[in-house]
């Protein structure tokens, strides 16, 4: 990864609801169009142990088990992106955690409208298509959980990098 105070690597996961709705290509293109560089990608069937580890910070909360069930309900796409301010850029593209509150133009704002009250009535958890690291610390932890060093591609320069 480039040495820089602004250059970051971050983790993104398209959850089973995004994969099952065939939104993978559409979602991936949002990040690429924003100038982020894809450096890791894999389709993964998540077992219960991995799901529980990913959501460890929520253990003991009422929505922990439903989160684990959602994450293990189908394949996910694990992604690693690099770019200037990648973590905050990705979070802006993804939109608010509660899709009903996500801005139009964001992934959640355009492709789902579930609210917390509605999700409690139906599933016990909010299917919001995607997960994105929210800090440099969580990005590092999540990238280490989902990728080994050998699974990243060697750095490459995008043809539009002078404009990013």
> 54, 85, 113, 131: which one is catalytic?
131
The DSSP bridge pattern shows strands 130-132 and 37-44 to be unpaired
| 105-113: long-range pairs with CB below 8 Å, 24+ | 107/27, 107/30, 111/18, 111/21, 111/23, 111/26, 112/17
Would you say how long the chain is, in residues?
Answer: 164
The DSSP symbol for 54 reads: H
Residue 80: what are its φ and ψ, rounded to 5°? Answer: -125, 130
Contact 117/45 with Cβ under 8 angstroms? no
What token pair was written down for 27?
Answer: 């979602």
Active site (annotated) includes residue 131: yes
Q: Quick one: DSSP state of residue 10?
A: E
Contact 87, 96 (CB under 8 A): no
Q: Please identify every residue annotated as catalytic.
A: 131
């Amino acid at each position: 990864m480039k040495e820089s105070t602004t250059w970051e690597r971050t983790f993104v996961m398209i959850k089973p609801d995004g994969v099952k709705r065939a939104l993978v290509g559409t979602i991936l293109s949002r990040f690429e169009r924003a100038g982020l560089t894809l450096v890791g990608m894999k389709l993964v069937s998540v077992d219960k142990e991995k799901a529980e580890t990913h959501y460890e910070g929520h253990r003991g909360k009422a929505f922990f088990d439903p989160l684990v069930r959602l994450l293990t309900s189908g394949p996910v796409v694990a992604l690693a992106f690099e770019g200037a301010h990648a973590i905050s850029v990705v979070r802006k593209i993804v939109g608010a955690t509660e899709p009903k509150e996500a801005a139009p133009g964001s992934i959640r704002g355009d492709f789902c409208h579930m609210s917390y009250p509605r999700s409690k009535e139906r599933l016990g958890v909010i299917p919001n298509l995607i997960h994105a690291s929210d800090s440099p610390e969580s990005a590092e932890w999540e990238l280490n959980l989902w990728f080994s060093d050998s699974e990243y591609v060697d750095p490459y320069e995008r043809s539009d990098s002078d404009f990013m």
